Structure 1
Amino acid sequence: MNNRWSRMVIVAILICIVLLGVAASTDNRLFVKREDADSSTKASQQKTPTMTKVSLMLDRYPNAAHAFIYTAIANGYFREEGIELEIKQPGEPSEGVTLVGLGVIDLTIASQPQVLIARADEIPVVSIAAIVRHPMNYLMVPKTSTIQSPKNLAHRKIGYPGDGVSVAILKTMMLSDEADPEHAVLVNVKRDLVQSIASHKVDAIIGGNINEDRIILEKRMQPVRTIEPMLYGVPEYYELVLVANETMVATNPELLQTIWGILARGHQDVIDSPKDALINVMNKQNPSFPLRMDIEAESLSILLPFMSNDDEVFGFQSKSAWSVVAEWLDETRLMRRLVNSEDAYVNLVD
């Protein structure tokens, strides 16, 4: 009896030992799994970098001039650098400059004269790169019009998008052609430049681009003649520049240099594969302003030679270009004060 009882006690003890071992082993495995899960979560968090959000307002609806931007986005260059670029479109021509000055938008595209006019109005904006280095804003009249030169604009209706730059161009052209700008009848048609001249609501338009609006009119069987402003006293200027707020330029120049480096890569891709670049633009077109591939292809062929050349790096801005344009705008008396042109731009490239 005693032997049997002893054997039972021993068996019971052995069972307890086994059970305790299993429990310990199970706890260790659970602990390892929990530890692995925590490590996986941390690794996952480390693999998801924080994206820097940057907003960019275009100068108008998406078109061939913006191919380098949309190509850089499509090719993933911004994401590679941890930047999330948000594209916005303006309601009015000068809206982008105003919003950048207020710090609501980070970047915008505008003309060089717009930057100088804004600074004269105490709006703290700076051009950080030249995009299109030659004026695209030409005076346009119907091909059958009797208007042959700026002096014929007296007492005629001229449609314009409501911007001061177009007024300065028109004023200079008429004065150069010995006509009184006060005799021209300016009509603010906002963004309806093409429609205003196609429907004969105005006799001419200023503020339309030869690389876009002129081609659209021709395709609509409303051909126009263009009159070049540079033949009538208007200096060469940068049609499009990239604009930032003074504070951003001072506090975050590295980010701006990174952004321009990305855009320069996009520009090179446009040169290498223009058809692919135009597809990127077509994919982002504004339904209110539908695009045609043939128009955008012709537009891009006009723009590319004026965006970069063998003599200057894409984006470079010259001191003389800024001083000449500042003096011209001061002569037109459209600026409230003469601004220091050297403060109006910085070069992100050499």
Structure 2
Amino acid sequence: MMNKVFGTILGFILVLLLAACANGRENLPEESKDTAGEESISQELTEVSIMLDWFPNAVHSYLYVAQEKGYFEEEGVKVDIQFPANATDPLNLAAAGKVTLALYYQPDVIMARANEGVPVKSLASIVRSPLNHIVFLEDKKIKSPKDLEEKTVGYPGIQLNEALLKTMVEHDYGDFSKVEMIDVGFELNSAIITGNTDAVIGAFINHEVPVLEQKAYDVNSFNPVDYGVPEYNEIVLITSDETWKEEKEAIQSFWNAAEKGFAFMKENPNEALEILLNNQDEANFPLDEEVEKQSLKVLLPKMEVGGTVFGSQDEEKWKEVRDWIYNAGLIESKPEVSEMIGHLE
């Protein structure tokens, strides 16, 4: 009898324990389910990395909008936005497949492809008109590039800037040999404020110019396009030949989201700017809100020129830019345009 009672009690205890375990299993997974769900979503997203051409600033607002608004996730990609440690990192790391994508400069893409066989191609035009202008203070009384004869022009020691200045001065019937160029590194604003140089080239009208104007300087500039230089793309989206072959679908998804970010930025520039400011690299490159506001005003018309669609690429314009670079002596061969660009939908 005792054994029977003991067996009944033991059986009852086992039933309770099993019920408790079952109940525990149902409750526990509420967290587990959420975590598993998140992991599942995360696993479904394809990772894409992009290296900016510089520290975050107004020209990158559409990317941060796409990230903040969830557009990347909607398109099935998880995007890692990286900053370069060195000026050539975007080109080199994209070419090596260390990042999926990068932002870089069209003339440099052409030169890298022609001179060093760097296997990169442009997929989209981000800023389709030069931002790099000849910049000077108005009190210098410089009316056109020809007036730079017998004057000093600071630049960051980059060969492309020499070619730009030469083309502009000669197009204005000036004698380029009478212009003195001084390597001032990237201290471009300082060079003209101190009077160390009469003008600079290599200064961007969406950054250096608003900074000078904020400091109450009267500034003027010459656009290379007005003086014989073809309208090159200041910034393009690049990838390596291999990455383009292997990850075309993920790149297209990235671009779909980037386009949404750009559309939002156009319609809501102030909110887009606020999102950018929340993502700035304060330690290395703190942003000034007013400067970035002015920058965005300069940039938006240059990201869609003459009714062109954001990102679209024109093969004829690529030929013009390539031929100008060749004639300027910056490359010794002319890469085929089809090698240098890829087409997004």
Q: Answer yes or no: same fold by TM over 0.5.
A: yes
Partner of 1:334: 330
Q: For residue 81 of structure 2, give the secondary structure of its aligned residue in structure 1.
A: strand
Aligned to 1:266: 261
Structure 2 CA distance, aligned partners of 1:162 and 1:57? 24
Partner of 2:190: 195
Structure 2 counterparts to residues 131-146 of structure 1, below 5 A: 131-146=126-141
Equivalent of 1:302 in 274, 291, 298? 298
Instruction: Work out the percentage of aligned pairs sharing the same amino acid.
Output: 32
After superposition, give the CA deviation of every residue in 1:134-154 in whole Å (9 maximum; x if it has no partner).
222211122111433323334
**TM-aligned CA deviation for residue 209 of structure 1:** 1.8
Quick one: distance in 2 between partners of 1:289 and 1:44?
Answer: 36
- Check conservation: 2:212, 2:219, Cα contact below 8 A: yes
- RMSD after superposition: 2.6
Tell me the amino acid that sits aligned with residue 229 of structure 1: P
Q: What is the aligned partner in structure 2 of residue 19 from structure 1?
A: 9
2:19 is aligned to: 29
TM-score (normalizing by structure 1): 0.86
2:312 is aligned, of 301, 311, 316, to: 316
Specify every segment of 5 or more residues in structure 1 that has no aligned partner in the other structure, as ranges. 1-9
Equivalence for 1:86: 80
Give per-residue Cα distances to partners, 1:67-107, cap 9 Å, x unaligned: 11121122122244453433333355443222222333332
Distance 1:310 1:35, change over 3 A: farther
Q: Please say which structure displays the higher CA radius of gyration.
A: 1
Letter of the aligned partner of 1:340 in structure 2? E
Question: Displacement of 1:229 after TM fit?
Answer: 1.4
Task: Report the secondary structure of 2:331's partner residue.
Answer: coil
Partners of 1:320 and 1:179 lie apart in 2 by: 29
Return the match for 1:255 from 227, 250, 254: 250
> Cα 1:185–1:102, aligned 2, differ >3 Å: closer, same or farther?
farther
Supply the AA of the counterpart residue of 1:251.
Answer: E
Instruction: Kindly state the Cα deviation for residue 289 of structure 1 after the two structures are TM-superposed.
Output: 3.7
Q: Give secondary structure in 2 for the equivalent of 1:234.
A: coil
User: Match for residue 6 of structure 1?
Assistant: none
Q: Distance in 2 between matches of 1:58 and 1:187?
A: 28
Give, as a single letter, the amino acid of the residue that structure 2 aligns with 1:47. Answer: E
Q: How many residues align?
A: 339
> What pairs with 1:271-286 in structure 2 (closer than 5 Å)?
271-286=266-281
The 8 Å contact of residues 94 and 114 in structure 1, kept in 2 or not, is answered as: no
Q: Distance between the aligned counterparts of 2:176 and 2:83, measured in 1?
A: 32
Deviation at residue 239 of structure 1 after TM alignment: 1.7
Q: Is the 8 A contact 2:156 2:202 kept in 1?
A: yes
